[in-house]
Each structure stands twice: as structure tokens, then as C-alpha cells.
Amino acid sequence: MAAVAGLMMQAGEPAWTWSLYEGEGPVVLANDVPDTARLRATLECETGQGAARVTAYGAGSAAGGMATLRAGAATAAAEGRAGRDGRLSAMVRTEHPVFAAFVETGRLTLTVGSTERMVEVQAEHLAKLRRFAELCGG
């Protein structure tokens, strides 16, 4: 009976995944529930421009200011944006060591002001992150 209850709970949970959207317009890698407006994080770039905007959602109300991006032993500073809708975002160059560490590990911490969000791409989705980096590189 407990196993059935566990399966029912799993069936009711949203199907979060990483989706790569490429084609016309910007390239977007989104941690989303497909076919809904639910987002945890997005990476967005124009093909070949060498820069990506990292956005984390659900951070609550935050103030903008300087952003810090950390992945592995690398750190980058950038202008951060925060919205009343819970978004935190910052731009990072795709050739920067912090972006390379993110592509390797799948883990990036974005801090704007005193608000911090972790962006994590699970191992089974790292190929999508590598493809995103390839498309965005300048």
C-alpha cells in the first residue's frame, strides 16, 4: 500500500526537466515544466555572440546591484538584475572560466545583493548545456 501511495505522489509532481530551444531567435536552455509557464532557471543567448544571460526564478523580492556568479573555483562579477517577480539575472561571457566550470560541473550559484540562487543542471542534461555553450560561443 505504501508503494502505491509513493507512486501516486510521484505522478502528481510536476515533470521538471531541462529543455533546449534553438532555431529562430535566441537559444534558450530552460529548467521548466514543458508546455507550461513554470520556470526555475533559463540561460539565453544569441547564436555566436559569446555571452549568455543566466536567470533564476523564485527568489522572492530582491534588489538589483552587483551579481556574483560562482562555479567550481571560478568567480565572476557582473551587473545583476532583480525583479519583484522573483527573477535574478546576470550576463556572463561564455569564454569566462566561471562559465567553463558551470558547463563542466552543471552547478552555478548566482548572487544578487543578498539573494542567492543555485542553478543546477543534472548529469543527464549536461549534453544540452554543452550544446548551449557551443551555440553561444563567440
pLDDT digit string, tens, across residues 109-135: 999 888 899 999 999 999 999 999 999
Distance, CA of 129 to CA of 138 (rounded, Å): 16
Is the pLDDT at 70 greater than 60? The verdict is yes
Is the pLDDT at 137 greater than 80? The verdict is yes
Q: Which pLDDT value is given to residue 65?
A: 81
Alpha-carbon radius of gyration of the chain: 16
Q: Which pLDDT value is given to residue 79?
A: 92
pTM of the entire structure? 0.86
End-to-end Cα separation, the chain, in angstroms: 55
Per-residue cell: 117: 540562487
The contacts of residue 54 (CB under 8 Å, 6+ apart) are: 41, 42, 43, 69, 89, 90, 91, 92, 108, 110, 119
Residue 3 corresponds to which amino acid? A
Place of cell 556572463: 92
71-87: average pLDDT: 90
Q: Which pLDDT value is given to residue 12?
A: 64
Q: Among residues of the chain, what percentage have pLDDT more than 70?
A: 86
31-49: average pLDDT: 94
Q: Which pLDDT value is given to residue 138?
A: 72
12-19: average pLDDT: 84
Higher pLDDT, 24 or 42: 42
Q: How far is CA 76 from CA 7, 56, 58, 104, in A?
A: 42, 16, 22, 16
Mean pLDDT rounded to a whole number for the chain: 88
Q: Which pLDDT value is given to residue 63?
A: 67
Split at pLDDT 50, 70, 90, the class of 58 is confident
